[in-house]
């Protein structure tokens, strides 16, 4: 294997980093740019300015959790009424608030930023071997049907002078799992986040979704 210095020297003219996405019915290569060429900003309230395409945003943030709870609870109450249920009956009295809190928990990744999660756990290290963490547990919500899907994530990167604390890779996965997702975008976002964090010579992310949950999304 080449030395770390060789990798860094070769990186003077960086090429797009390739991230592979695997699933039952999807297999392709997608380019994950290290530096976006076209800045993008958002005027939507609660959204941070971001130079990434909307489906790769690292700092997308909605209003605070506390501010969202009352309106979401009312929405769940309306949903129960639309189903023909009586939201005032004993078994459903607290269901709207409970459901709202559950949804806020499953989407708490919108409240987390990469910088906050990493918390300076990036270290200078002359390490020229690939760093791999396998089978990180993943649980997310399908954005198409709002049903859960789950599986495992494996991440590997080739350092170029900097490494992450191993536990931080699992935290990166959690940031993007705890959002409304599709498996392919989740894979891209994880790869982009690792690239942004340590600028490695190469990075790969493999997301293996549960077969049953994938079928349920169809």
Strands 122-124 and 162-164, by their bridges, are antiparallel
Say yes or no: do domains 4-34+114-216 and 65-106 share a fold: no
Q: What is the pLDDT of residues 79-127, one digit of tens each?
A: 999 999 999 999 999 999 999 999 999 999 998 999 999 988 899 988 8
Rounded distance between C-alpha atoms, residue 58 and residue 39, angstroms: 13
Contact status, residue 21 vs residue 188, Cβ threshold 8 Å? yes
- Please report, in angstroms and rounded to a whole number, the separation of the first and last CA atoms in the chain: 43
Give the phi and the psi of residue 28 in degrees, each rounded to 5. -160, 170
What pTM value is reported for the model?
0.68
How far is it, in rounded angstroms, from Cα 23 to Cα 213? 12
Can you read off the two tokens belonging to residue 57? 């945003």
Buried b (16+ CB within 10 A) or exposed e, 58-87: bebeeeebeebeeebbeebbeebeeeeeeb
Q: Which contacts qualify for 102-108: CB closer than 8 Å, 24 or more apart?
A: 103/72, 104/65, 104/68, 104/69, 104/72, 105/178, 106/140, 106/141, 106/148, 106/178, 107/141, 107/178, 107/179, 107/180, 108/65, 108/178
Model confidence at 60, pLDDT cuts 50, 70, 90, reads low
Domain definitions of the chain by residue range: 4-34+114-216, 65-106
Please give the residue that has the higher pLDDT: either 191 or 37.
Answer: 191
pLDDT score recorded for residue 35:
37
Q: Which residue has the higher pLDDT, 24 or 125?
A: 125
Q: Note the pLDDT of residue 66.
A: 79
CATH superfamily of 65-106: GTP cyclohydrolase I, N-terminal domain (1.10.286.10)
pLDDT tens column, 167-205: 999 999 999 999 999 999 999 999 999 999 999 999 999
| CATH code that applies to domain 4-34+114-216 | 3.30.1130.10
Which of these, 130, 145, 138, 119, lies nearest to 189 by C-alpha position?
A: 138
Kindly give the pairing relationship between strand 131-142 and strand 148-158. antiparallel
Instruction: State how far the Cα of 124 lies from the Cα of 126, in Å rounded to an integer.
Output: 7
- pLDDT for 188: 96
pLDDT band at 78 (very low <50, low <70, confident <90, very high): very high
Q: Any bridge partners for residue 202, and if so which? A: 158
- pLDDT at residue number 48: 42
Per-residue pLDDT band at 20 (split at 50, 70, 90):
very low
């Amino acid at each position: 294997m080449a030395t770390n210095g060789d990798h860094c020297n070769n990186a003077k003219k960086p090429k797009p980093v390739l991230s592979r996405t695997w699933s039952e019915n999807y297999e392709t290569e997608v380019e994950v740019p290290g530096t976006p060429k076209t800045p993008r900003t958002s005027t939507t309230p609660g959204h941070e300015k971001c130079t990434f395409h909307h489906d790769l945003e690292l700092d997308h943030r909605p209003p605070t959790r506390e501010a969202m709870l009352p309106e979401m609870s009312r929405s769940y109450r309306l949903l129960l009424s639309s189903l023909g249920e009586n939201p005032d009956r004993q078994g459903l009295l607290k269901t709207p608030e409970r459901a709202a809190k559950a949804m806020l928990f499953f989407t708490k990744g919108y409240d987390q930023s990469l910088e906050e999660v990493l918390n300076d756990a990036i270290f200078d290290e002359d390490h020229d071997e690939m760093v791999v963490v396998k089978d990180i547990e993943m649980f997310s919500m399908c954005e198409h049907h709002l049903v859960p899907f789950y599986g495992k994530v494996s991440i590997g990167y080739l350092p170029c002078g900097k490494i992450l604390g191993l536990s931080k890779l699992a935290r990166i996965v959690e940031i993007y799992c705890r959002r409304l997702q599709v498996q392919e975008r989740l894979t891209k976002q994880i790869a982009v986040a690792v690239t942004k964090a340590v600028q490695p010579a190469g990075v790969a992310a493999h997301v293996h979704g549960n077969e049953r949950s994938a079928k349920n999304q169809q």
